[in-house]
Chains A and B, each alone.
Chain A
Amino acid sequence: MSDFSFWIILQNLLLATRWTILLSLIAFVSGGFVGLLLLLARVSHSKTLRVLSIGYIELFQGTPLLMQLFLFFFGVALFDIEVSPWVAAWLALTFWTSAFLAEIWRGCVESIPKGQWEASESLALTYWEQMRYVILPQALKIAVAPTVGFSVQVVKGTALASIIGFVELTKAGTMLNNVTFQPFLVYSLVALIYFALCFPLSWYSKRLEGRLNVAR
C-alpha cells in the first residue's frame, strides 16, 4: 500500500488526463468539421440532402454513444482492418459529436430572421454567398455559447472510450483501483479531475450566454 501513495495515484491520473484532453480536442475538431457539412446538408434546398442528414442525426442522437463505440470497434474489424481503440473512439466520437453540433447549429441558423435571407436575396446573392456572408456570420455569434456548452459533453463522452480499452482518465482510474484497492480515493480524484476540465467550460458557456442576452 505504501508504495502507491496518494501522490503516485494522482500523478498517474494526471498523466492519463493528457489522453482525455487530446481525444476530446481531436473529436471536437473533427466532429465540428463533419457537423458543419451536416449542417449545410440539413439546411440546403435539396430534399435528398435534408432527408439524409435528418436520418444521420436521428441515428446518432437516438442510439447510445456506447453502442456507436462498439459498432466502430467491432465493425471496422469486419473489413479485416485492425482497429485500435484510439481510432474507434475517435471515429465514434466524431460521428456522435457532429450529429449534436449540426442540430445545435441548425437552431442558430434558423433563428436568423427571414428578412436577412430576403434582403440578401434581393441583392442578387447566390445561396452560397448568402450563407457565407450574411447568415453564417450572424449564426456564429449565437452558436458560440451552446457550442462551448456541448464541448463539456464531448469531454465526458471520452470517458466511454475506457470501455473499449482506451487508456484515458477513467480507464486509468479503473486500473489504479485494481492495484491499490482504494476505490473511494481513486474515483474521487477521477471525478475531481473531470470537474476541473469541465467546470471552466460550463462556466464560460454560461457567461457567453448571459452576455448574448444583454446584447439583445
Chain B
Amino acid sequence: MIQQLNFGDLLPYWDVFARGLVFTIVLTLTSTVAGLALGTAGAWARTFGPKWAGAVTRVYVEIIRNTPFIVQLFFIFFGLPALGVKLSEDVAAFIAMVINLGAYSTEIIRAGIEAVPKGHLEAGASLAMSRWEIFRHIVLKPALMKVYPALSSQIVIVMLGSAVVSQISAEDLTYAANYIQSRNFRAFEVYIVAAFLYLLLAIGLRALLRGIGRAMFPKG
C-alpha cells in the first residue's frame, strides 16, 4: 500500500528551503553574468582573436562540452587542491558554473557572430575601423541579439544543472532538500517541493530573461 504523503512535516524547515533557494538564485545570477562574459571573450577569440587564442578556446570548449558537469565540479573541488589550489565549496561551485556556461555560450555567440553579413565587416573596415572596433561596434550586438533565445535556454539549463553543486556541500536548494529529508525522513515530499521550486525558478528565470531581452534588443 502507498504510504500517506505528509507535507506538514516540512513546514518547520521552511527557512532551510528559503536559504537554499536564495543560494541557488545568487549562484545562478552571478555565474550567468561571468559565464556570458567568458563566452563573449571566447567567441571573440574564435572569430576575431589571434590564431593561437582561437585554438586554445576550441580545445576548452570541446573538453567542457564533452564531459559531465559533475566531473568538472569534482575536478575543480577535489582535483585542483592536489596542485595547491584550494577552493571553498562556494567558490568551486561558482567557478565550475562559469567555466561550463562559458564554453556553451562561446559556441552559441560564435554562431551569432558568423551569421553577421560579411558586408557589414567590410563596411566597417572601409571606415578605417580597427578589428576591435568592428567587433565591438558592428558585430557584437546583432550577434547577441540573434542568439539571445539560445543563450536564454542555455542559462536555464545551467541553473537546473546547478543542483549538482550540492554534491560538494555547497548549500544550494538541493543541499537544503537533502538536509531536510535526512532530518524528517520525508524524502519524497521534500524532493517534490524542491522540484516544484526549481520549476518555479525556471519559469521565473525565463520570464526575467525575456524581459531583459526586450529591454536590450527593443525590436527583437
Contacts and interface: CB of A to CB of B under 8 A. Distances in A.
A157 B157 CA distance: 12
Contacts, number: 125
A66 to B, nearest CB: 4
B83 A78 contact: no
B70 A152 contact: no
B71 A202 contact: no
Nearest to A183: B78
B46 to A, nearest CB: 15
Interface in B138-190: 156, 160-164, 166-167, 174, 177, 181, 187-188
A195 B3 CA distance: 43
Interface residues of B, number: 43
B2 A66 contact: no
**In the A-B complex, the 5 residue pairs with the closest CB atoms:** A159-B68, A64-B163, A198-B66, A74-B187, A183-B78
A170 B70 contact: yes
A205 to B, nearest CB: 11
Contact of A67 (B2, B68, B79, B163): B163
Interface of A: 58-59, 61-68, 70-71, 74-75, 77-80, 152, 156-157, 159-160, 162-163, 170, 173-174, 177, 182-184, 186-188, 190-191, 194-195, 198-199, 202
Contacts of A156: 67-69
B27 to A, nearest CB: 13
Contacts of B63: 191, 195
Nearest to B200: A62
Nearest to A59: B199
Contact of B66 (A64, A66, A152): A152
Contacts of A162: 70
Given A67-B174, A195-B63, A187 B68 contact: no
Given A195-B66, A198-B66, A159 B71 contact: yes
Interface of B: 1-3, 5, 62-63, 65-72, 74-75, 78-83, 156, 160-164, 166-167, 174, 177, 181, 187-188, 191-192, 194-195, 198-199, 202-203
B49 to A, nearest CB: 21
Query: In terms of DSSP, what is the predominant structure of the interface of chain B?
Result: helix
Contact of B191 (A61, A71, A163, A198): A71
A187 B188 contact: no
A173 B71 contact: yes
B82 A183 contact: yes
A80 B164 contact: no
B19 to A, nearest CB: 18
A135 B34 CA distance: 43
B187 A170 contact: no
A183 B81 contact: yes
B71 A191 contact: yes
Given A160-B70, A177-B78, A63 B195 contact: yes
A173 B160 contact: no
A156 to B, nearest CB: 4
Contact of A78 (B62, B69, B78, B188): B188
A202 B62 contact: yes
Contact of B160 (A64, A177, A191): A64
Contacts of A75: 188, 191
Given A152-B66, A160-B164, A74 B78 contact: no
A58 B196 CA distance: 12
B167 to A, nearest CB: 6
